Amino acid sequence: MPDSNPHSWFAIRVKGNRDQVVSSALSGRGYETFLPTHKDPRSSAKRPPHPGYVLSRLDVLHRVPVLVIPGVVCFVGIGNSPRPIPDEEVESLRQVAKSGLPVKPEKYFAAGDKVRIESGPLAGTVGTVLDWKSGVFVVPIHFLQRSVSVRLPAGWLARSSHDPTRTTDERLSTGHR
């Protein structure tokens, strides 16, 4: 389904434990937000796999109203330029969040086979295989240099020609507005 919204997704760095507050404030001001969460195995609470980040779809040229929300630190980007997040990455994160499969935060991996899930509740999701033998599938979040992983049967995966546009020498900034 084509996206009719002309605005792009951006990652917003927030102060510790302010993820939900900032997400609610953005939603209250009319911004579309996404705060991925997973069930914490140590409690019944739902927590973000990568605390400190909120995703929002907006016009980055009009970002001052976002930057003045209490708890917002900065936009994630390169240098002083906020970097948009591809819609495909946000949709893959949404599918993982909806799947009900156990999710755990992972370190970011730049290397590995790019795959597309062909079967199961995550069919159509694009990501990277971390380990063929154990069936660990990683959904990279390139803009944050982080990932989430789920364990899948190897039979669900097929090679993909998906190639993120991020180059290896780009470094993201999380400390500048």
pLDDT at residue 176 greater than cutoff 50: no
Domain assignment present for 100: yes
pLDDT at residue 109 greater than cutoff 50: no
Q: What is the pLDDT of residue 37?
A: 80
Domain assignment present for 165: no
Q: Which residues contact 12 (CB under 8 A, 6 or more apart)?
A: 22, 26, 53, 54, 55, 56, 66, 72, 73, 74, 75, 76
pLDDT at residue 2 greater than cutoff 70: no
Domain assignment present for 58: yes
Q: What is the pLDDT of residue 41?
A: 65
DSSP labels, 54-70: EEEEE-GGG-HHHHTST
Nearest-5° Cα angle at 131, 45 to 84: 60
Together in a domain, 51 and 104? no
pLDDT at residue 69 greater than cutoff 50: yes
State the Cα–Cα distance between residues 173 and 177, nearest whole angstrom.
9
Task: Kindly state the DSSP code that residue 86 receives in the 8-state scheme.
Answer: P
Q: What is the pLDDT of residue 106?
A: 60
Domain assignment present for 166: no
Domain assignment present for 173: no
Together in a domain, 93 and 48? no
Domain assignment present for 135: yes
Domain assignment present for 170: no
Most confident of the ranges 68-72, 96-100, 172-176: 68-72
β-partners of residue 117 are 157
* The one-letter amino acid at 162: H
User: Whole-number mean pLDDT of the chain?
Assistant: 78
pLDDT at residue 58 greater than cutoff 70: yes
Are 12 and 54 in contact by the 8 Å Cβ rule? The answer is yes
**Structural domain of 102:** 87-159
3-state secondary structure of 106: strand
- Left, alpha or beta for 166 (phi > 0: left; psi -120 to 50: alpha)? beta
Q: Count up the domains in the chain and report the number.
A: 2
Last residue of a domain, one of 37, 53, 82: 82
Domain assignment present for 78: yes
CATH of the domain at 24: 3.30.70.940
Give the pTM: 0.65
3-state secondary structure of 162: coil
